Amino acid sequence: YEHGREHEHNPGAADSDRPIGFGRLQRKEDPRFVRGQGNYTDDVVLPGMLHGAILRAPVAHARIVSIDTSEALARPGVRAVITGKDLEPLKLAWIPTLSYDVQAVLATDKVRFQGQEVAFVIADDRYAARDALESIDVEYDILDPLVDARHALDADVPVIRDDLEGRTDNHIADWECGDAAATQAVFDKAEVVVSQEIVYPRVHPAPMETCGAVADFNPVSGELTLYETSQAPHAHRTIIAMVAGIPEHKIHLISPDIGGGFGNKVGIYPGYVLAIVGSIVTGHPVKWMEDRSENLMSTSFARDYIMQGEIAATKDGKLLGLRANVLADHGAFNGTAQPTKYPAGFFNLFPGSYTWESVYGKVTSVYTNKAPGGVAYACSFRVTEASYFVERMVDRLAIELNMDPAELRLKNFIAPSQFPYDNKAGFEYDSGEYEKTMHHAMKLIGYDELRREQAEKRARGELMGIGISFFTEGVGAGPRKHMDILGLGMADGAELRVHPTGKAVVRISVQSQGQAHETTFAQIVAEEIGIPPEDIDVVHGDTDRTPFGLGTYGSRSTPVSGAAVALVTRKVRDKARLIAAAMLETRPEDLEWEKGRWFVKGDPSAGKTIQEIALAAHGTMQLPEGVDGNLDAEVTYDPPNLTYPYGAYFCVTDIDKDTGKVTVRRFLAVDDCGTRINPMVIEGQVHGGLTDGVGMALMEIIEFDSDGNNLGGSFMDYLIPTAMEVPDWETGYTVTPSPHHPIGAKGIGESATVGSPAAIVNSVIDALRPTGVTGIDMPCTPARVWDAMQGHAKAP
Interface residues with ligand MCN (CB under 6 A) are 207, 260-263, 378, 513-517, 520, 552-558, 673-678, 681-682, 685, 688, 745-750
Distance CA 566, CA 743 (A): 7
DSSP state of 777: P
Q: Bridge partners of 468?
A: 650
Query: Residue 119 belongs to what H/E stretch?
Result: strand 117-123
- Interaction partner, residue 681 (ligand MCN, ligand CUN, none; CB < 5-8 Å by kind): ligand MCN
Residue 29 or 291: which CB sits closer to ligand MCN?
A: 29
Q: How far is the CB of 738 from ligand MCN (least distance, A)?
A: 9
Contact letters (x/-) for ligand CUN, 723-752, by CB under 6 A? Answer: ---------------------------x--
- Interaction partner, residue 514 (ligand CUN, ligand MCN, none; CB < 5-8 Å by kind): ligand MCN
Do residues 305 and 387 touch, judged by C-beta distance below 8 A? Answer: no
Q: Which of 133, 375, 566, 669 touches ligand CUN (CB under 6 A)?
A: 375
- Interaction partner, residue 103 (ligand MCN, ligand CUN, none; CB < 5-8 Å by kind): none
Q: How far is the CB of 268 from ligand MCN (least distance, A)?
A: 17
Residue 298 or 380: which CB sits closer to ligand MCN?
A: 380
DSSP state of 128: H
Q: Is 62 left (phi over 0), alpha (psi -120 to 50) or beta?
A: beta
- Is residue 377 a contact residue for ligand CUN (CB under 6 A)? yes
Q: How far is the CB of 345 from ligand CUN (least distance, A)?
A: 8
CA dist list (Å): 148 to 330, 625, 706, 753, 776: 11, 70, 8, 26, 19
- Interaction partner, residue 41 (ligand CUN, ligand MCN, none; CB < 5-8 Å by kind): none
- Interaction partner, residue 747 (ligand CUN, ligand MCN, none; CB < 5-8 Å by kind): ligand MCN
Q: How far is the CB of 544 from ligand MCN (least distance, A)?
A: 22
Q: How far is the CB of 695 from ligand CUN (least distance, A)?
A: 14
Residue 382 or 746: which CB sits closer to ligand MCN?
A: 746
Angle at 241 between CA 95 and CA 554, to 5 degrees: 75
Residue 257 or 310: which CB sits closer to ligand MCN?
A: 257
- Is residue 376 a contact residue for ligand CUN (CB under 6 A)? yes
In this structure, what are the phi and psi dihedrals at residue 237, rounded to the nearest 5 degrees?
A: -60, -45
Nearest to 338 by CA among 173, 129, 460: 173
Q: How far is the CB of 258 from ligand CUN (least distance, A)?
A: 11
Residue 405 or 749: which CB sits closer to ligand MCN?
A: 749
- Interaction partner, residue 616 (ligand CUN, ligand MCN, none; CB < 5-8 Å by kind): none
Tell me the site size for ligand CUN, rule CB under 6 A.
13
Residue 139, SS3? strand
Distance CA 684, CA 658 (A): 35
Query: Residue 197 belongs to what H/E stretch?
Result: strand 192-203
Indicate the residue whose CB is closest to ligand CUN: 263
Angle at 88 between CA 85 and CA 92, to 5 degrees: 120
Do residues 178 and 195 touch, judged by C-beta distance below 8 A? Answer: no
Q: How far is the CB of 525 from ligand CUN (least distance, A)?
A: 24
Distance CA 222, CA 646 (A): 48
Q: Which of 82, 378, 441, 582 touches ligand CUN (CB under 6 A)?
A: 378
Residue 475 or 582: which CB sits closer to ligand MCN?
A: 475
- Interaction partner, residue 375 (ligand CUN, ligand MCN, none; CB < 5-8 Å by kind): ligand CUN
Q: How far is the CB of 639 from ligand CUN (least distance, A)?
A: 16
Q: How far is the CB of 555 from ligand MCN (least distance, A)?
A: 4
Stretch that binds ligand CUN, among 178-186, 258-266, 389-397, 587-595 (CB under 6 A): 258-266
Contact letters (x/-) for ligand CUN, 642-661, by CB under 6 A? Answer: --------------------
- Interaction partner, residue 678 (ligand MCN, ligand CUN, none; CB < 5-8 Å by kind): ligand MCN
Q: How far is the CB of 434 from ligand MCN (least distance, A)?
A: 18
Q: How far is the CB of 388 from ligand MCN (least distance, A)?
A: 16
Do residues 114 and 712 touch, judged by C-beta distance below 8 A? Answer: no
Q: Which of 52, 465, 554, 713 touches ligand CUN (CB under 6 A)?
A: 554
Q: How far is the CB of 95 from ligand CUN (least distance, A)?
A: 20
Say how many C-beta atoms besides its own lie within 10 A of residue 10's C-beta: 7
Distance CA 107, CA 67 (A): 11
- Interaction partner, residue 368 (ligand CUN, ligand MCN, none; CB < 5-8 Å by kind): none
- Interaction partner, residue 266 (ligand CUN, ligand MCN, none; CB < 5-8 Å by kind): ligand CUN
Q: How far is the CB of 392 from ligand CUN (least distance, A)?
A: 20
Query: Residue 594 belongs to what H/E stretch?
Result: strand 591-594
Q: How far is the CB of 706 from ligand MCN (least distance, A)?
A: 32
- Is residue 379 a contact residue for ligand CUN (CB under 6 A)? yes
CA dist list (Å): 351 to 295, 670, 682: 34, 20, 26
Sequence-ordered strand ranges (E) for 603-736: 603-609, 631-637, 646-655, 662-672, 730-735
In this structure, what are the phi and psi dihedrals at residue 786, rounded to the nearest 5 degrees?
A: -60, -50
**Positive or negative, the Cα torsion across 522, 525, 526, 532?**
negative
Strand 78-83 versus strand 94-96 pairing type: unpaired
Distance CA 710, CA 56 (A): 13
Alpha helices (H) along 255-333: 270-282, 292-298
Residue 19 or 77: which CB sits closer to ligand MCN?
A: 19
Nearest to 541 by CA among 220, 217, 261: 261
Distance CA 289, CA 213 (A): 6
Q: Bridge partners of 600?
A: 591, 603
Q: How far is the CB of 233 from ligand MCN (least distance, A)?
A: 14
Q: How far is CA 487 from the centre of its chain?
A: 20
Residue 38 or 77: which CB sits closer to ligand MCN?
A: 38
Distance CA 71, CA 690 (A): 50
Distance CA 582, CA 588 (A): 8
Residue 113 or 553: which CB sits closer to ligand CUN?
A: 553
**Positive or negative, the Cα torsion across 627, 633, 638, 640?**
positive
- Is residue 263 a contact residue for ligand CUN (CB under 6 A)? yes
Residue 161 or 303: which CB sits closer to ligand CUN?
A: 303
Residues 225-244 that bind ligand CUN (CB under 6 A): 231
- Is residue 262 a contact residue for ligand CUN (CB under 6 A)? yes
Do residues 656 and 629 touch, judged by C-beta distance below 8 A? Answer: no
Do residues 500 and 579 touch, judged by C-beta distance below 8 A? Answer: no
The residues that touch ligand CUN, with contacts defined as CB under 6 A, are: 231, 261-263, 266, 375-379, 553-554, 750
